[in-house]
């Protein structure tokens, strides 16, 4: 149903979703505190006020001031969240992604793919701007829009994210399907998008001025807007979403606090407290830090002398005890006074306290990583863990990535489908947006060690081939041509898992032909000659089946053997 002007006006005045939207903004501010790199004006984020109020509630005033003094920006908790989001970015580099767009006219499929790639830069958009929403704008809404004026034979739709702080009102069902959204474009312009049309109004404060300056029917049958994330914070609230790090925000607060406490404790190691016998205060009239003053008053006609005490200025100005403090202890005043202190003493921090703080920091860090990525850093770094534990950690990480990928696939698909329907109407039939379910979770070094052990243990060539393929895809991730070249060379190389010396034994045993051995021994030279005389091995036979391409190149390499033998004769 299309929202009428009077309905929009009523919403502007009443703001029925104000509380939910404000909570969503507050939630995002807490996410930004730990995930957005800020150096200047960081404390403009209201979440810092909440953090500081919490810290102040259990510290004395002097310790709180030290905390504020030692807290530096960017905050240290970014070290953890950056690790988390680096892990999440693996979803964009799945080993088996699949994207497909089906139209009643097959020619439109490639045209649409070209539009997504060349005009919208679709994959880059979701890998960068989309990923930013995951980090600290989890409650944002994606809107698919169209230009007010059409320049070609079909519309040129585009999409963008609307931050929750700019949303005036949004209505959705329990499944999260948006029915309308009203948001601010600038200080005197609002957009009203629903399941029938795009409308834009001019405003003065919370009053609409005149009729809609844009009123365009889109014909989709649904509102061209969708929540970025599909995981609600609770079942009754579709506006506020649950970020992958929402559950550990309080732990991140504690991590930040304890790391700052550690900085304070470390200062005592660098600048210990030094104590010595105090010198008696030489300020006139000082006695135990106070000075007595006599004064005269008249009471019932009688002159009365009274005494008050004020703090000695010299004693009052002594520096508060802290790192590097020189502290004076009372000196023995007579031979009968006990001497319980060395004349000069250095007070170093308690090692048990320092160890406790360090352990708490590591405990918080491991908890955050375990909840958010499926394993703690200690499991991956600990050489003593068994194979079952390592496998379990990889499976946990994979399961987390599958959840992240699933939500990103949904919003990516919504954007693509809506663009296709706005551009081609009923000619668009369906789409598949699949980021993949196999991810690069192992480093090149780990895979190389696995490859080495597989060869030593005599694993089947098929298993060794699979590991080597993973090495190539991990090492050259994102560089498809480099992966293709390496895989082609791998398939051209006789016995690629063996050295030339190892291949000699195969030749002796009759497990390798002489031609194969010559190609193996002169492989680099033959490939260089082939590319000089033909073209690079990627472009050669590009349209051929891969096996046929390998057979053709191999025959040419064999011809070099014949020519070499003829020349030598």
- The average pLDDT across 113-124 equals 96
Q: Which one is predicted more confidently, 354 or 378?
A: 354
Express each pLDDT in 36-60 by its tens digit. 988 876 678 999 999 999 999 999 9
| pLDDT band at residue 313 under the 50/70/90 scheme | confident
Report the C-alpha dihedral over residues 455, 458, 462, 466, rounded to 10 degrees.
-30
**Could you tell me the end-to-end alpha-carbon distance of the chain, in angstroms, rounded to an integer?**
89
Q: How far apart are the C-alpha atoms of 503 and 509, rounded to whole Å?
A: 10
Predicted local distance difference test score (pLDDT) of residue 463: 84
Q: Which one is predicted more confidently, 283 or 366?
A: 366
Q: Which residues in 269-293 are b (16+ Cβ under 10 Å) and which e?
A: eeebbebeeeeebeeeebeeeebee
Predicted local distance difference test score (pLDDT) of residue 95: 81
Sign (positive or negative) of CA dihedral 39, 44, 47, 50:
positive
Predicted local distance difference test score (pLDDT) of residue 391: 46
Of 290, 339, 298, which is closest to residue 314 (Cα–Cα)? 290
- Share the mean pLDDT of the chain: 87
pTM value is 0.74
Backbone angles phi, psi at 152, to 5 degrees: -115, -165
Secondary structure of residue 71 in the 3-state scheme: coil
Residues 377, 84 contacting (CB under 8 angstroms): no
Residue 395 predicted with pLDDT over 90: no
Q: How far apart are the C-alpha atoms of 563 and 310, rounded to whole Å?
A: 109
Q: How far apart are the C-alpha atoms of 482 and 484, rounded to whole Å?
A: 5
Q: Which residues in 50-67 are b (16+ Cβ under 10 Å) and which e?
A: ebeeebeeeeeeeeeebb
Of 327, 314, 315, which is closest to residue 271 (Cα–Cα)? 327
Tallying the residues shown for the chain, one arrives at 569
E-only strand ranges, 173-236: 178-186, 189-194, 197-204, 207-217, 225-227, 232-234
Q: How far apart are the C-alpha atoms of 274 and 257, rounded to whole Å?
A: 27
Determine how many CB atoms are found less than 10 A away from the CB of residue 366: 16
Q: What would the two tokens of residue 377 be?
A: 């850093």
Predicted local distance difference test score (pLDDT) of residue 295: 81
538: which residues sit within 8 A by CB, 6+ positions away? 481, 484, 485, 488
Residues 375, 365 contacting (CB under 8 angstroms): no
Residue 208 predicted with pLDDT over 80: yes
- The average pLDDT across 434-449 equals 84
Q: How far apart are the C-alpha atoms of 424 and 295, rounded to whole Å?
A: 97
Predicted local distance difference test score (pLDDT) of residue 446: 82
Residues 380, 402 contacting (CB under 8 angstroms): no
Predicted local distance difference test score (pLDDT) of residue 324: 46
Q: What would the two tokens of residue 349 be?
A: 């921090």
Residues 208, 195 contacting (CB under 8 angstroms): no
- The average pLDDT across 350-377 equals 87
- The CA-atom distances, in angstroms, between 331 and each of 291, 344, 358, 538 are 21, 11, 37, 87
């Amino acid at each position: 149903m299309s929202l009428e002007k009077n309905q929009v006006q009523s919403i502007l005045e009443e703001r029925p979703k104000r509380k939910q939207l404000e909570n969503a903004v507050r939630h995002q501010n807490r996410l930004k505190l730990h995930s957005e790199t800020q150096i200047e004006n960081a404390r403009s984020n209201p979440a810092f006020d909440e953090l500081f109020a919490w810290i102040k509630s259990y510290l004395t005033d002097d310790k709180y001031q030290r905390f504020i003094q030692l807290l530096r920006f960017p905050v240290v908790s970014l070290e953890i969240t950056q690790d988390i989001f680096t892990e999440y970015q693996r979803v964009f580099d799945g080993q088996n992604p699949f994207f497909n767009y089906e139209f009643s006219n097959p020619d439109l499929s490639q045209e649409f793919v070209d539009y997504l790639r060349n005009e919208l830069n679709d994959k880059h958009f979701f890998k960068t701007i989309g990923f930013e929403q995951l980090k600290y704008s989890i409650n944002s809404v994606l809107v698919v829009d169209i230009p007010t004026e059409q320049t070609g034979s079909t519309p040129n739709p585009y999409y963008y994210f609307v931050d929750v702080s700019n949303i005036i009102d949004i209505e959705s069902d329990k499944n999260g399907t948006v029915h309308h959204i009203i948001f601010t474009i600038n200080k005197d312009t609002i957009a009203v998008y629903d399941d029938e049309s795009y409308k834009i109004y001019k405003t003065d404060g919370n009053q609409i001025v005149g009729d809609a300056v844009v009123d365009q029917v889109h014909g989709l049958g649904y509102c061209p807007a969708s929540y970025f994330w599909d995981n609600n914070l609770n079942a009754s609230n579709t506006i506020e979403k649950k970020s992958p790090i929402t559950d550990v925000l309080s732990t991140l607060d504690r991590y930040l606090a304890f790391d700052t406490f550690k900085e304070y404790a470390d200062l005592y190691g660098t600048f210990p407290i030094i104590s010595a016998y105090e010198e008696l205060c030489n300020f006139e009239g000082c006695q135990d830090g106070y000075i007595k003053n006599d004064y005269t008053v008249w009471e019932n006609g009688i002159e009365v002398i009274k005494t008050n005490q004020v703090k000695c200025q010299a004693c009052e100005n002594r520096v508060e005890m802290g790192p590097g403090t020189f502290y004076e202890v009372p000196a023995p005043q007579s031979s009968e006074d006990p001497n319980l202190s060395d004349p000069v003493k250095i007070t170093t921090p308690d090692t048990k306290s320092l160890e406790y703080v360090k352990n708490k920091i590591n405990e918080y860090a491991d908890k955050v990583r375990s909840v958010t990525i499926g394993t703690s850093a200690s499991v991956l770094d600990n050489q003593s863990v068994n194979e079952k534990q390592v496998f379990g950690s990889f499976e946990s990480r994979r399961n987390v990535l599958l959840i992240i990928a699933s939500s990103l696939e949904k919003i990516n698909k919504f954007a693509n489908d809506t663009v296709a329907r706005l551009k081609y109407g009923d000619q668009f039939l369906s789409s598949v947006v699949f980021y993949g379910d196999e991810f690069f979770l192992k480093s090149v070094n780990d895979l190389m060690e696995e490859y080495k052990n597989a060869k030593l243990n005599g694993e089947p060539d098929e298993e060794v081939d699979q590991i080597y393929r993973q090495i190539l895809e991990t090492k050259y991730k994102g560089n498809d041509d480099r992966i293709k070249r390496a895989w082609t060379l791998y398939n051209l190389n006789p016995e690629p898992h063996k050295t030339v010396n190892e291949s000699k034994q195969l030749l002796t045993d009759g497990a390798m032909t002489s031609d194969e051995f010559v190609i193996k021994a002169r492989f680099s030279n033959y490939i260089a000659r082939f590319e000089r005389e033909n073209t690079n091995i990627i472009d050669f036979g590009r349209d051929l089946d891969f096996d046929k391409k390998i057979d053709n190149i191999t025959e040419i390499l064999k011809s070099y053997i014949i020519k070499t033998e003829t020349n030598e004769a």
